[in-house]
Amino acid sequence: MRIQLRWKKLLFGLAAIAGLAFMSSPASAKCTLGDCWGAVAYGPGISAYEINLNDKETAKELAMAKCKEKCTQVLTFHNTCGAYVAGNGGHGWGTSRNKDTAVGAAMMECQKVAKNCELRVWACTAEKK
Question: Is residue 121 within 8 Å of residue 51, measured between CB atoms?
Answer: no
Task: Give me the pLDDT at residue 20, please.
Answer: 31
Condensed to tens digits (0 to 9), the pLDDT of residues 72-129 reads 999 999 999 999 999 999 999 999 999 999 999 999 999 999 999 999 999 999 876 5
Tell me which residue range forms the domain holding 93. 29-124
Task: Give me the pLDDT at residue 106, please.
Answer: 97
Condensed to tens digits (0 to 9), the pLDDT of residues 22-51 reads 333 344 457 888 899 999 999 988 999 999
CA of residue 126 relative to chain centroid, distance? 11
Amino acid at 86: A
Decide if 1 is inside a domain.
Answer: no
How many domains does the chain contain in total? 1
Decide if 76 is inside a domain.
Answer: yes
d(CA 97, CA 91) in angstroms, rounded, equals: 21
d(CA 86, CA 122) in angstroms, rounded, equals: 12
Decide if 5 is inside a domain.
Answer: no
